Amino acid sequence: MLKGASQYFNSDVIVLMDEEQQKVFDSWYIFVPDIVKDHLMNHVDAAPDEISKALQNKHMTENFYIESPMDIIYKDPSSVFWLPPFIDFAINKSTGNVYSWNRLLFIFTEFCLNNTDYFTRHSDSIISINENTHLTSFVGFKYFHLSQIELILKKIAKFLGRKNSIIQNCHFIKHIPSFDVKSAKKHPNVFTFIDDIINNNNNLMPSFSSGLYI
């Protein structure tokens, strides 16, 4: 904190009222964007390369995160999906069912288009959710368009994983490239590393929210 300093409203200039601080900064004002470069760097000792690189690699490894490419999850025929039990039961009169994405999209589309207990068709493209159903209090909207069915399903369905790995899907791959990083013990090659990203670094894993909005 700068004792007695004041900053002009909506300004990048700090005026120093304290004489000792004026001597330290060799100025009666500080231009905020330059405070690190012009006033603080002279008091910082740079770490040796071996220390700075080790710290840099440590923090890069700890903060490293790659989000799953969603298109791969949905397009991989070995991906398996699950629906919350009350929605699964509304569609199938049973729970615990798992589906491929294409199969689930077909079943859910048929459900939205043809189930009159839960939905009302107002035109070829506009559908409403009926009152006093299990879905009424769950969703945060009344009407939706035919083109939004897949979007709604993506917000409801949960990803359970993939039956096949990259090497199983891409059987033509012959060479297994080495993967020499800190996590090499967990990932013996780059393909298991990519599989781990696809399977785990996404927001589609089973969890349950209190409502749905589009």
At 109-140, the pLDDT tens digits run 999 999 999 999 999 999 999 998 888 888 88
Q: Based on the fold, state whether residues 37 and 79 are members of the same structural domain.
A: no
Domain final residue pick, 18, 33, 63? 63
Strand order in the sheet with 143-145: 119-121, 126-129, 143-145
Lowest mean pLDDT among 1-15, 63-77, 111-125, 188-202: 1-15
Coil, strand or helix at 4: coil
What's the mean pLDDT in 132-161? 89
Whether residue 98 sits in one domain with residue 27: no
Q: Are residues 130 and 44 in the same domain?
A: no
Determine if the pTM surpasses 0.75.
no
> What tokens were used for 122?
């107002």
Going by pLDDT thresholds of 50, 70 and 90, the confidence category of residue 73 is confident
142 and 166 part of one domain: yes
Phi, psi of 98 (to 5 degrees): -125, 155
The answer to whether residues 49 and 92 belong to one domain is no
Could you tell me the end-to-end alpha-carbon distance of the chain, in angstroms, rounded to an integer? 46
Identify the band that residue 33 occupies on the pLDDT scale cut at 50, 70 and 90.
low
Report the domain count for the chain.
2
Q: Are residues 85 and 177 in the same domain?
A: yes
SS3 95: coil
Q: Which of 78-82, 176-180, 201-205 has the lowest mean pLDDT?
A: 176-180
The reply to whether 177 and 131 lie within a common domain is yes
Query: Who has greater pLDDT, 133 or 184?
Result: 133
Is residue 191, in this structure, part of any structural domain at all? yes
**pLDDT score of 147:** 94
Which position has the higher pLDDT, 81 or 174? 81
Q: d(Cα 75, Cα 105) in Å, to the nearest integer?
A: 12
Q: Per the domain annotation, does 12 fall within a domain? A: yes
The residue segments making up the domain with residue 46 are 6-63
Does 119 fall in a domain?
Answer: yes
- 124 and 172 in a single domain? The answer is yes
70 lies in some domain: no
- The confidence score (pLDDT) of residue 207 equals 57
Identify which of 6-10, 73-77, 171-175, 177-181 has the greatest average pLDDT: 73-77
Residues 6+ apart with CB under 8 A from 13: 7, 29, 30, 31, 32
